[in-house]
Structure 1
Amino acid sequence: MFIVNGQMPFYLRSLLLRLFCYLLCAAAVSTAAADRSLLLAVTTSTENSGLLGYLLPDFKKQCDCEVRVLAVGSGKALVLGKNGDVDLLLTHAPDDEERFIAEGFGVDRRAVMYNDFVIVGPPHDPADIGGLNIADALFRLSKKQESSFISRGDESGTHKKERTLWENLAIFPAGDWYVSAGTGMGQVLLIANELRAYTLSDRGTYLAFRDKIDLRIVVENFPLLRNPYSVMRVNPQRHPHTQVELASHFADWLVAPATQQRIGKYRYHGEQLFVPSVNN
């Protein structure tokens, strides 16, 4: 019906040409936007704490770009990096990060900040571990087995830290009292609250969830519980498609004095969540 005497009418040819030009322009804009989009894998703690929501608008404004955040455990973040599914990572699993770099999957690892881990549990502290050092607290939990302990069980940085703490005591927890949740920190806190159980949490996520749960810190402030975060770029020699320039700029920005100062000033309900690593 659109063909007359073997030819397409002029108005229809004109319309199709305009549509073709529009699609080309849209594709060009889409490509340009993709070129200014950074894929960042981070731990759930930096997302749950609100820190990224506080910091990222400044970077987006400076770079006129988008930052797409994938909040997962450190173990999953490192897998994303190995597969080239992201441009850079912000994680808190030092041993795995060093291995990631040594095996050639990442480059330019830099310390960004730190907070610490705490043991939280019911306010009445049924296991009576409040005030004990971390080793004695875990030993008592494993010995009595009367109170449940919720493990993240997800190969995250927090889960790996917890396993290291048990292994240092030559304890391999198992049984009904030890629950492997296989989920993120926020959800684990909610589960521990529901079951009136104990768990290991980074301080930042606990503070962010404190108003939603009835758990309190029972063990804290031990050197073994320090929790450092590092930024790394995915190795562009393995994955040339990554946003090398934008990722480098982000890493530089994250450790720059102005951003480090903002990290140190970030508060949640008046409490500092992270300590900047540069010059500390």
Structure 2
Amino acid sequence: MQRRSLLTLVLSVAFATPFAHAQNDKVLRLSTTTSTENSGLLAYLLPSFEARTGMKVNVISVGTGKALELGKNGDVDVTLVHARALEDKFVAEGWGIDRRDVMYNDFIVVGPVADPAKLKGERDVIAAFKKIAAGNVKFISRGDNSGTDVMEKGYWQSAGAKPAGTNYVSAGLGMGEVLNMAAEIGAYTLTDRATYGAYKAKTGLAIAVEGDKRMFNPYGIIAVNPQKHKGINYKGAKQLIEWMTSAEGQAKIAAFRPAGEQLFFPSAK
């Protein structure tokens, strides 16, 4: 009985392994930020890529820090994120290759329509953060090492202060959830414009600060280095990178206009 069980195990491994590799070629694992998922962009883009290649793209939507960590661990094949310093570090350490610019949007500060910090019309994000810190108002931070979180922390550092005590809430959540929280407690938050657009009607939050060049938000796509992990679908990752940065992919990004407003702007070179 033991010999028979051993033979069965050997045969199952022998036949299962090639099948697993064959499946891997048809499945592409993508880690990305909550903004590309919450905005509806990926649901709009990926069916065209899947139809062209016959691959299924499995999306894991998290903050940029976690998205890159999944790449380091070999849990995904390609990553689409927005924190250039973290992206460059990921590539410099050998975890990622073939990084390409894909698109950009911008960050905005949103908050209650009543605007208790009197930010409306402010175009200097650092001045706005100083007003928030000085006023008795609440601010909700992503607190998740996402690209948005990294940018926000830099603004507070430049401002030289941040809200005291319970006025500053570190949520550790995705952008959509943070927008919902801000609406519930009447707080300000930093968000990408695309996710705000998807949640605007639900939350009723208003744009308080926009237009500062320091709120520019570029996105990059990076293949996980196949030399770091066996089983990485590098071929599929390259196909997605090439398609996202092709004339077809860039035109699709520009054409994504929920409610008639363009949320992402193509930037591939």
TM-score w.r.t. the length of structure 2 is 0.91
Q: Secondary structure at the match of 2:190?
A: strand
1:199 CA drift (Å): 0.3
1:56 CA drift (Å): 0.4
1:278 CA drift (Å): 2.3
Q: Do 1:78 and 1:100's aligned partners in 2 also have CA atoms closer than 8 Å? A: yes
Identify the residue that residue 16 of structure 1 maps to in structure 2.
none
Q: Do 2:29 and 2:76's aligned partners in 1 also have CA atoms closer than 8 Å? A: yes
User: Would the alpha carbon gap of residues 153 and 72 (structure 1) be closer, same or farther in structure 2, given more than 3 Å must change?
Assistant: same
CA distance in 1, matches of 2:95, 2:268: 24
1:241 CA drift (Å): 1.6
* Aligned counterpart in structure 2 of residue 128 of structure 1, from 118, 123, 134: 118
1:139 aligns with 2:125: no
Number of residue equivalences: 258
Gaps of 5+ in 2: 1-10
User: Would the alpha carbon gap of residues 234 and 52 (structure 1) be closer, same or farther in structure 2, given more than 3 Å must change?
Assistant: same
Matched AA of 2:127? D
1:168 aligns with 2:166: no
Query: What value does the CA root-mean-square deviation take over the aligned residues?
Result: 1.9
Instruction: Map 1:1-280; keep pairs closer than 5 Å.
Output: 32-132=22-122, 133-144=124-135, 146-278=136-268
Matched AA of 2:220? S
1:219 CA drift (Å): 0.3
Please give the per-residue CA displacement for 1:67-115, whole angstroms capped at 9, x wherever unaligned: 0000000000011011111001000011000011111111111100000
Please give the per-residue CA displacement for 1:229-276, whole angstroms capped at 9, x wherever unaligned: 000001111113200111111100010011101101110111110000
CA distance in 2, matches of 1:270, 1:65: 30
State the identity %: 48
CA distance in 1, matches of 2:24, 2:38: 26
Q: Do 1:166 and 1:173's aligned partners in 2 also have CA atoms closer than 8 Å? A: no
Please give the per-residue CA displacement for 1:37-76, whole angstroms capped at 9, x wherever unaligned: 0000000000000000000011111111110000000000
CA distance in 2, matches of 1:121, 1:143: 16
TM-score w.r.t. the length of structure 1 is 0.88
User: Would the alpha carbon gap of residues 194 and 159 (structure 1) be closer, same or farther in structure 2, given more than 3 Å must change?
Assistant: same
Q: Do 2:127 and 2:159's aligned partners in 1 also have CA atoms closer than 8 Å? A: no
